[in-house]
């Protein structure tokens, strides 16, 4: 009975805390025009509908019903405005940066809380880390040296996880490699140590978009515990590497952690901030990059004529190299058609639902006022299949990306503006390398014709996308 009362009181508190802001702002509706929409059910809002129907269908339905510029909803316990279209993308991601701050759902914000607990604001932390990513860690010049390592580990991965089998589940296989690569390139760890992160990342991601009810047995509670484990593990690795670098700088590897510790500006970051840098690189790779790889290979299995053109491009590169010679930057530059195919796959199945901001003040857009404190969602689903920007949007057509490509702010899988994803080039290199190695070795046959697509932070096939392999 006491346990039941505790749960009931906790749910009531959560409900009131979620509902009051929405009700208060509605009471001020006479003073300003709020976004059209609905808050959905008590407590959960429209979160269940968002994930059950899928974000694409959810967003398209509300754009049609309420507004194709901005509409209101309630997701993961938050009043949410969804800004739509190319003009909305440009406004939110480029123009309105002074009026919004980055915001994360509850479990994701636990990562930020590592450093916020030191008395620094999330904005300060996000700005510092984003700048460090761009200047030191994720510049294209710095990443070029990782292409041969990506190629070598991908070849090893195919030998152990693809070659011995007639059927492979692409999604878990690609997740395994992206995590091994992240552990190697980001932390300098051997593949054997990657599994400890795989389990923790998987549990943490399940809680990323759950209701923040921190009671035993809830998805959120399990995720919070895993986040704390990750924190301790990363701090341990950082301390070990610091000791090694101090003892002998020449022993420092070329991984991102070692390069970070050797940088002259590293003193500007605490160990917790360095840990957050590393986590914010590894988690998107684990989920979004593996999702992109999966759906690229899905489309290649469905479209033989596209596969043949990609295979031709890859074989021309392979013929110019010795059999054991690894890929390099010059080879990546030649994969122009392959990159167009990847872009078209990401247009049809974006690798992320979107990103969030919080309004620091009342925001005015398209004759609508988004009140201070509301969360704002940018999502690629508002433009990627809009026939105004992409004629015959359901058709797979890589030629859309030839020449100048799509209209600005209509195709932005890695976001745009000051908050563009710092891992864009890393993901690009990895997807191309994986695609090159698979296509040169196998033809692919999809075994589940209409496999359902589910969503967490990124889309994934419900059964893992099992493929029958036909070696060349």
Annotated binding-site members for heme = 421
Complete DSSP assignment for 95-154: I-TTTEEEE--HHHHHHHHHHHTTT--HHHHHHHHHHHIIIIIS-HHHHHTTHHHHHHHH
The tokens for 130 are: 């984003």
Name 468's bridge partners: 167, 445
Rounded to 5 degrees, φ, ψ at 468 are -85, 130
Contact 35, 95 (CB under 8 A): no
> In angstroms, rounded to a whole number, what is the distance separating the alpha carbons of residues 419 and 72?
23
167-169 and 78-83: which strand pairing? unpaired
SS3 469: strand
H or E stretch covering 224: helix 219-247
Q: If DSSP codes are grouped into helix, strand and coil, which group holds residue 391?
A: coil
Q: Which two tokens stand for residue 119?
A: 């008395």
What is the C-alpha separation between 179 and 161, in angstroms, rounded? 14
Burial status of residue 30 (CB atoms within 10 A of its CB: 0-12, 13-18, 19 or more) = exposed
Whether the CB-CB separation of 202 and 178 falls below 8 Å is answered with no
Binding positions are 421
Token pair in block for residue 471:
């070696």
Cβ atoms within 10 Å of 345's Cβ, excluding its own: 26
Q: Phi-psi region for residue 400, left (φ > 0), alpha (ψ -120 to 50) or beta?
A: alpha
What tokens appear for 203 in the block?
A: 């549990």
Residues in Cβ contact with 88 at an 8 Å cutoff, skipping those fewer than 6 apart: 69, 70, 365, 366, 378, 382
- For 265, the 3-state DSSP assignment is coil
Q: How many residues does the chain have?
A: 472
CA angle, 394 then 419 then 194, to 5°: 80
The DSSP result for 404-448, as a single string, is T-SPTTS--TT--GGG--TTHHHHHHHHHHHHHHHHHHEEEEESS
Three-class secondary structure of residue 321 per DSSP? coil
**Is the distance from CB of 208 to CB of 223 less than 8 angstroms?**
yes
């Amino acid at each position: 009975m006491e346990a039941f009362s505790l749960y009931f009181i906790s749910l009531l508190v959560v409900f009131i805390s979620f509902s009051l802001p929405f009700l208060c702002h509605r009471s001020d509706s006479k003073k300003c025009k709020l976004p059209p929409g609905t808050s959905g059910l008590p407590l959960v809002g429209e979160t269940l509908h968002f994930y059950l129907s899928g974000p694409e269908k959810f967003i398209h339905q509300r754009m049609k019903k309420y507004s194709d510029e901005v509409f209101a909803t309630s997701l993961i316990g938050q009043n949410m405005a969804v800004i739509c279209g190319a003009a909305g993308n440009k406004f939110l991601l480029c123009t309105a940066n002074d009026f919004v701050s980055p915001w994360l759902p509850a479990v994701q914000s636990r990562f930020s809380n590592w450093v916020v607990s030191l008395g620094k604001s999330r904005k300060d932390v996000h700005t510092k880390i984003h700048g460090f990513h761009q200047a030191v860690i994720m510049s294209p010049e710095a990443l070029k040296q990782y292409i041969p390592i990506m190629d070598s580990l991908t070849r090893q991965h195919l030998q152990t996880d693809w070659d011995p089998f007639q059927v492979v589940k692409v999604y878990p296989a690609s997740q395994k490699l992206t995590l091994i690569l992240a552990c190697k390139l980001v932390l300098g760890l051997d593949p054997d140590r990657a599994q400890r992160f795989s389990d923790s990342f998987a549990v943490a991601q399940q809680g990323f978009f759950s209701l923040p009810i921190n009671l035993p047995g809830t998805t959120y509670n399990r995720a919070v515990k895993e986040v704390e484990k990750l924190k301790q593990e990363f701090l341990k690795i950082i301390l070990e590497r610091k000791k090694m670098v101090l003892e002998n700088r020449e022993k420092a590897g070329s991984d991102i952690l070692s390069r970070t510790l050797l940088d002259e500006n590293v003193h500007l970051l605490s160990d917790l901030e360095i840990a957050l840098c590393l986590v914010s690189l590894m988690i998107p790779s684990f989920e979004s990059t593996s999702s992109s790889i999966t759906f690229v290979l899905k489309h290649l299995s469905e479209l033989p004529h596209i596969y043949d053109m990609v295979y031709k491009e890859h074989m021309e590169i392979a013929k110019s190299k010795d059999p054991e010679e690894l890929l390099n930057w010059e080879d990546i530059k030649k994969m122009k058609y392959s990159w167009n195919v990847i872009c078209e796959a990401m247009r049809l199945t974006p690798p992320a639902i979107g990103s969030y901001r919080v309004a620091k003040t009342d925001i005015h857009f398209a004759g609508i006022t988004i009140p201070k404190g509301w969360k704002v969602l940018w999502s690629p689903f508002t433009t990627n299949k809009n026939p105004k920007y992409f004629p015959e949007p359901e058709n797979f057509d890589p030629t859309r990306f030839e020449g100048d490509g799509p209209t600005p702010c209509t195709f932005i899988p890695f976001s745009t503006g000051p908050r563009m994803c710092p891992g864009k080039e890393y993901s690009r290199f990895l997807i191309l390398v994986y695609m090159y190695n698979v296509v040169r070795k196998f033809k692919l046959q999809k075994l589940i014709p209409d496999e359902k697509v589910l969503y967490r932070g990124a889309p994934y096939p419900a059964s893992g996308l099992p493929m029958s392999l036909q070696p060349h």
